[in-house]
Amino acid sequence: MKVIIDHDRCEGHGLCAEQAPAVFSLDDDAELIYHFDGGEVPDDQADAARAAIVSCPVAALRASW
């Protein structure tokens, strides 16, 4: 699974980073960092990544298979 981020929609709430800290984080400017950019989320982090996608209040994240 890959995660697609709409950076224009992201408002830096950080709920994704709370749900999946190994997958997402925010930098000092509250910009979203996806730790597997260009690659797939490891299987052991997939459930957390899905929870993060669902938790986004502005729907800035989606999964791609």
Residue 26 near residue 17, CB atoms below 8 Å: yes
Instruction: Provide the pLDDT for residue 14.
Output: 96
- Is the confidence at residue 65, as pLDDT, over 90? no
Direct distance between the N- and C-terminal alpha carbons of the chain, in angstroms, rounded to an integer:
5
- Is the confidence at residue 37, as pLDDT, over 90? no
Cα four-point dihedral sign 32, 21, 14, 3: positive
How many domains does the chain fold into? Answer: 1
CATH number for the domain spanning 46: value is: 3.30.70.20
Alpha helices in 4-57 (DSSP H): 15-19, 46-55
Query: pTM to 2 decimals?
Result: 0.90
Domain span at residue 51 reads: 2-64
> pLDDT digits over 11-33, tens only?
999 999 999 999 999 999 999 99
Residue 47 neighbours by CB distance under 10 Å: 12
